Structure 1
Amino acid sequence: MADQQPSAPACPTAGIRHINRDHTRRYVKVGNHLAQHRELSLTAIGLAVHIQSLPSGASVTIKSLAGRFPEGEVRIAAAMRELEHHGYLRRRRERAASGRVVAFTESYNNPPALWAEARPARETAPLEPAAARPQEAAPQPEPAPAADGEEADPEPAPGKEAARPARPEAYDLLARLRLRDPRLVLSKRDVERLAPAVSEWLDQGLPVAAVSASLTNGLPLAPIHSPYGLLLHRIRELAPARLPSTPRVGAAGPDRVLRPLRTCPTCDKAHRSPTPGECPPCTRRAAA
């Protein structure tokens, strides 16, 4: 058996080998949450590093960045949207004292730390068991005073009138909001609490697409720490007005119904009709 040679070189290993030297000037610190991000593209990661290395007040518009790098405006715009979605950038507008609107960009070098600081207390506090929480009785309406010679109606038994159940479309609408914006992820408990209010919107005759658009249009670019709180605020503030049950004297007539566009199979022209088929001129020619 051959003797082991302690002075023999170690077996080389594959992969990256780091040869590092400390920086003393002109450097920027980058966290692994950005450098090793699992969802950002390489273009977005490189763009974030470049923006974080710039001094305050530097221009970071799409045109200025496209003039600095070989990537075109389309790729740079897509990378900036990625960084906005994951909380590394935020584009804002403010009105100065002179009345001029100033557009600027905020760069966040450590979004996970900001999310941890802004996390609501209710998400970090331990949940109290349901059995330990006292159940508050709902206030009962006072009975109406009885007229002379009449007996007052007995008080309604508590729990006699059950709460109105939410519509199934409301549950589906709330659960699908995360498909429109990945930040709107709701728990099962949050969906059950919001569904009755969304059902009131649907009861007004609004289509599901219109309700979904009202809840998701114009969302803030910053990270959404409490999707339930944001949607609850929008549902309360943007609730549609109820239509009158009976038209008043002199009130305007019903709104004109805008029928969908159809393509005539005979002349290939567009026309509005509730059902697919030929346009009115072709229908009259065929009947003649």
Structure 2
Amino acid sequence: MIIPNALAQNRSISYTAKGLFVDLISRPEEWRETCRQMADSSPQGRKSVEDALDELRAWGYYRVDVVRLPNGRLRSEAHLFDVPQRPMLPGADIPASGEPECGDPDALLGKYLVKEP
């Protein structure tokens, strides 16, 4: 994965979020670490790392999915994207969850109905 120019040149995204993105894409695919572990190894601290992850999530570069394992346990899976998956304009509200306005309501996947931890 390369560093997206749109992210690098976006003046609305903090340098902390950009730096965290670079750190995350430099990790191997099977790398596992919690937000708390990342923050504890960072000079910025937990609040800054959490805010940077929230910022990347709002711009569509980062997403966390909750997956139910065969044994019934839940696991969080983080995904990083070089192309925003849900581009958000600065100041725009993140849409609230609710019933779809059209289409088949049974078409929603169960994992999207699980609240993120």
Q: Helix, strand or coil: the match of 2:101?
A: helix
Partner of residue 36, structure 1: 9
In 2: Cα distance, 1:79 partner to 1:46 partner: 9
Structure label with greater radius of gyration: 1
Aligned length: 99
User: Is it true that 1:232 corresponds to 2:96 in the alignment?
Assistant: no
**Counterpart residue type for residue 72 of structure 1:** G
Distance 1:84 1:29, change over 3 A: same
In 2: Cα distance, 1:101 partner to 1:90 partner: 16
Deviation at residue 231 of structure 1 after TM alignment: 6.4
Partner of residue 43, structure 2: 70
User: Is it true that 1:108 corresponds to 2:76 in the alignment?
Assistant: no
Q: Runs (4+) of structure 1 moved beyond 3 Å?
A: none
User: Contact 1:60 / 1:105 at 8 angstroms: preserved in 2?
Assistant: no
Deviation at residue 67 of structure 1 after TM alignment: 2.3
User: Contact 1:90 / 1:106 at 8 angstroms: preserved in 2?
Assistant: yes
In 1: Cα distance, 2:6 partner to 2:92 partner: 25
Q: How does 1:99-248 map to 2 (within 5 A)?
A: 99-111=72-84, 181=93, 183=94, 216=96, 218=97, 232-233=101-102
Note the alpha carbon deviations across 1:138-177, whole angstroms, 9 max, x for none: xxxxxxxxxxxxxxxxxxxxxxxxxxxxxxxxxxxxxxxx
Partner of residue 93, structure 1: 66
Note the alpha carbon deviations across 1:153-205, whole angstroms, 9 max, x for none: xxxxxxxxxxxxxxxxxxxxxxxxxx771x55xxxxxxxxxxxxxxxxxxxxx
Distance 1:180 1:231, change over 3 A: farther
What TM-score results when the alignment is normalised by the length of structure 1?
A: 0.31
User: Contact 1:51 / 1:60 at 8 angstroms: preserved in 2?
Assistant: no
Distance 1:60 1:88, change over 3 A: farther
User: Contact 1:91 / 1:103 at 8 angstroms: preserved in 2?
Assistant: yes
Distance 1:30 1:64, change over 3 A: same
Q: Larger % of strand: which?
A: 2
Structure 2 portions without partners, runs of 5+: 106-117
User: Contact 1:93 / 1:102 at 8 angstroms: preserved in 2?
Assistant: yes
Note the alpha carbon deviations across 1:206-243, whole angstroms, 9 max, x for none: xxxxxxxxxx2x47xxxxxxxxxx8635xxx8xxxxxx
**Counterpart residue type for residue 67 of structure 1:** D
Partner of residue 109, structure 2: none
**Counterpart residue type for residue 41 of structure 1:** S
What TM-score results when the alignment is normalised by the length of structure 2?
A: 0.71
2:32 alignment partner, one of 59, 68, 75: 59
RMSD: 2.5
Q: Which has the higher contact order (CA 8 A, sep 6+)?
A: 2
Q: Helix, strand or coil: the match of 1:109?
A: coil
Deviation at residue 48 of structure 1 after TM alignment: 0.7
Deviation at residue 37 of structure 1 after TM alignment: 1.4
Distance 1:108 1:39, change over 3 A: same
Structure 1 portions without partners, runs of 5+: 1-27, 116-178, 185-215, 220-229, 238-288
Deviation at residue 61 of structure 1 after TM alignment: 2.1
User: Is it true that 1:48 corresponds to 2:17 in the alignment?
Assistant: no
